Amino acid sequence: MHPDIEVVIIDDDQEVTEALVEMLELEEFKVVAFSSPERALGYLSDECPAVVLSDVKMPKMDGLALLSKLQQCDTEIPVLLMSGHGDIPMAIEAMKQGAYDFLEKPLQPDQLFGRLQRAIEQRQLVLENRYLKSSLHQQQGIERFIIGESMAIKQIRQQVLALAAANVDTIIYGDTGSGKDVVARALHQFSSRKDKRFVAINCGGMSESLIESELFGHEAGAFTGANKRHIGKIEVANGGTLFLDEIESMSLSVQVKLLRVLQERTIERVGSSTPIPVALTVIAASKDDLGKLGDEGGFRKDLYYRLNVASLTIPPLQARPEDVLPLFHFYARKASDNYSRPMPALSPVEASRLLQYPWPGNVRELKNAADRFVLGIRETVATVWPDEHDLESISYDQQMKRYELRILEKGLNATQGQLNEAAELLNLSRKTLYRKMKKHQLDKLHFKSLESERQS
């Protein structure tokens, strides 16, 4: 979404600059250096993918003046100031005026790397938030319907447009809360049937007798309590789209009657033998593999084959982290409109929590979190890892990730954040340890003791 974040070094001492560039490039930071603040200001701009590492004391423009100029350009660009011991009062004043951090010379490499990495992560989140807000306003067509930046969602958007144009019966697979209903509505909205009815029915929430009447309708006197004619959902959806959610829970006997409708495109109300022609597209949704259920006898295979003209699968939200922030912004803005509340700013810390959370309830859970965020219930925007007694509801992959996180935290705690020692203790290469720390968004500085912090 954004280029790699650069570290912009500003220092009039050429030897210091060259040493910093070499040291940071060895640690795979992307670096650009300037000997004067004026030239650096000409390079930097708002939305610039950069963090600034600058000396405090420079001849023409000192660190405070540079900070003021940068904040006029972009208030959220992280500025880290380097200072000798005698410049500390000046650096403290800069912190009060909005500097991200300051480091005392001579610089300690591990401390410098850790603080730059945190500044880079904050800048990435700030730029990503801005991009998402801007892109959501600019989105048109299906991108406003099916939100996300992941490759999986981009492919689903393409599939939806192709299937909507073809007007074919479709099965949508996905975990509970993954957004199957949203995709079903998009299949209707972008088809030639969009001006007709979209009729949804949850097959899992009705008894066998009730769902039969709801689907096919009934005549007056068809059964006890049927005092007047009732038009069924299939007939109501004539010319449009019928969405059958949780179709795996539909009884086998009702499946037989639905198959007949799909084959003949006619229905008979309960209590009547008069066929009524219907022209509609049927979209079914299931959290289970209907083909496998058919092999096991839990779903009619002939109905499966009739519905399965086309199918698409929505991955769980945990498998597409690129979609978390776009979806959160989308639902937060909707909540802001619904509750007539101002749209709060999402801080980098809160965005990081959203990205770390596994979202077992998928998009539905994220939408609820966005609602609470807008209502000011910040502490529940993203909860911590589930309690031990909730492990039954956590998938194997989630448990393994949690276990790996605890092992890494234990090793880093034992070595007070010293990566070489932690890698040796955990029997990992330094590169593997660093990769796993990035995966779990762990900062080695968080594991340093207060004593080691004072010594650094």
Distance of CA 324 to the CA centre of its chain: 1
User: Is residue 427 over pLDDT 90?
Assistant: no
Residues 414, 378 contacting (CB under 8 angstroms): no
- For the chain, which residues make up each domain, given as ranges? 6-136, 145-315, 321-447
Higher pLDDT: 422 or 299? It is: 299
Pairwise CA distance, residues 179 & 349, whole Å:
27
**84: which DSSP letter?**
-
Greater model confidence, 430 or 299: 299
Residues ≥6 apart with Cβ < 8 Å to 444:
110, 114, 412, 417, 418, 419, 422, 437
Give residue 364's identity as a one-letter amino acid code.
R
Strand-strand pairing, 198-202 and 241-245? parallel
Residue 452 pLDDT more than 50?
A: no
- pLDDT at residue number 451: 37
What tens digit of pLDDT does each residue of 259-316 get?
A: 999 999 999 888 888 899 999 999 999 999 999 999 999 999 999 999 999 999 999 9
* Alpha-carbon torsion, ordered 15, 20, 23, 29, to 10 deg: -150
E strand residue ranges, 249-373: 266-267, 276-277, 281-286, 310-314
Strands 79-83 and 266-267: unpaired
The answer, yes or no, to whether residue 9 has pLDDT greater than 50, is: yes
Dihedral Cα 368, 373, 376, 378, nearest 10 deg: 100
Per-residue model confidence (pLDDT) at position 437: 82
CATH number of 6-136: 3.40.50.2300
Nearest in space to 113 (alpha carbons), one of 15, 6, 49, 29:
29
- Out of 11-25, 239-253, 261-275, 401-415, give the one with best mean pLDDT: 239-253
Residue 12's pLDDT is 87
> Which CA distances in Å does 246 have to 146, 211, 215, 290?
20, 12, 14, 11
Residue, of 391 and 215, whose pLDDT is higher: 215
HEC letters along 3-47: CCCEEEEECCCHHHHHHHHHHHHHCCCEEEEECCHHHHHHHCCCC
Residue from 218, 247, 223 nearest 235 by CA: 218
Q: Is the pLDDT of residue 408 over 50?
A: yes
**Contact call for residues 59 and 51 (beta carbons, < 8 A):** no
CA dist., res. 168 & res. 308, Å (int): 9
Judged on CB neighbours under 10 Å (0-12, 13-18, 19+), 152 is middle
SS3 state at 185: helix
Banded pLDDT at 453 (limits 50, 70, 90): very low
Phi, psi at 254, each rounded to 5°: -70, -30
CATH-assigned architecture of domain 145-315: 3-Layer(aba) Sandwich (3.40)
Residue 160 amino acid letter? V
Q: What is the mean pLDDT of the segment spanning 331-343?
A: 89
Q: What is the pLDDT of residue 258?
A: 92
Q: Is the fold of 6-136 the same as that of 145-315?
A: yes
Is the per-residue pLDDT at 385 higher than 80? no
Reported as a pLDDT band with limits 50, 70 and 90, residue 84 is confident
1 pLDDT exceeds 50? no
How many residues does the structure list for the chain?
Answer: 456
pLDDT surpassing 80 at residue 212: yes
Most confident of 38-52, 136-150, 294-308: 294-308
| 86/52 Cα distance (integer angstroms) | 21
Q: pLDDT value at position 400?
A: 65
Q: With pLDDT > 90 as the criterion, what percentage of the chain qualifies?
A: 36
Lowest mean pLDDT among 34-43, 167-176, 206-215, 294-303: 206-215
Question: Is the pTM here over 0.75, yes or no?
Answer: no
Query: What is the residue-averaged pLDDT of the chain?
Result: 83
